[in-house]
Structure 1
């Protein structure tokens, strides 16, 4: 069963975009030149990811951007065929709420 992930409660211009920043071991969510949030990770020897923490900057807190960040990260890893281990409690709760994202969990 697929449960729709609601969009953030605030609209940003430009629309936030996800960037993988392997040099800093994190995904980053950007709105133009403004950092909205990050998903820190550790890469395993086989190329999979351990998702360590989800952080949204204070300016964008409590508006659904962590949810947007995690859903986009999980979409990206699924498209790339990467498995994840969710250490981050936010990601764990997200996966409980949106079971359609569990396919790539180790």
Structure 2
């Protein structure tokens, strides 16, 4: 069993709390706080059960406050719940997976 490392929350609290939205027509997940975009996780669908995570971007206003971490954890939690696997091309996602090994089961066999 993989050790679970708690994912720290962002260092800034937003109201309303950030919510994850999937936009498959744009091939990306977006993290929103009310009507304000916080960040984007771009992907490419490899097949019915696999997404390639391409890039993680947080708007400048929310940079360096833990929102990329929240975005990636939220995406991985949602994909895991759906039974979808990932191919982590994004270097941020790769480093996230090293830091939080409990998410390794969501990584597709290469």
- Please list every run of 5 or more consecutive structure 1 residues that lacks an aligned counterpart in the other structure: none
Q: How does 1:60-75 map to 2 (within 5 A)?
A: 60-75=62-77
Q: How many residues align?
A: 106
Map of 1:18 onto structure 2: 20
Moved over 4 A (4+): none
Q: TM-score, normalized by length of structure 1?
A: 0.98
CA distance in 1, matches of 2:68, 2:106: 19
Question: Contact between 2:88 and 2:107, CA under 8 Å: does it hold in 1?
Answer: yes
Map of 1:47 onto structure 2: 49
Q: TM-score, normalized by length of structure 2?
A: 0.94
CA distance in 2, matches of 1:81, 1:87: 19
Q: Secondary structure at 1:44's aligned position in 2?
A: strand
CA distance in 2, matches of 1:67, 1:27: 14
CA RMSD in angstroms, aligned pairs only: 0.6
- Please list every run of 5 or more consecutive structure 2 residues that lacks an aligned counterpart in the other structure: none
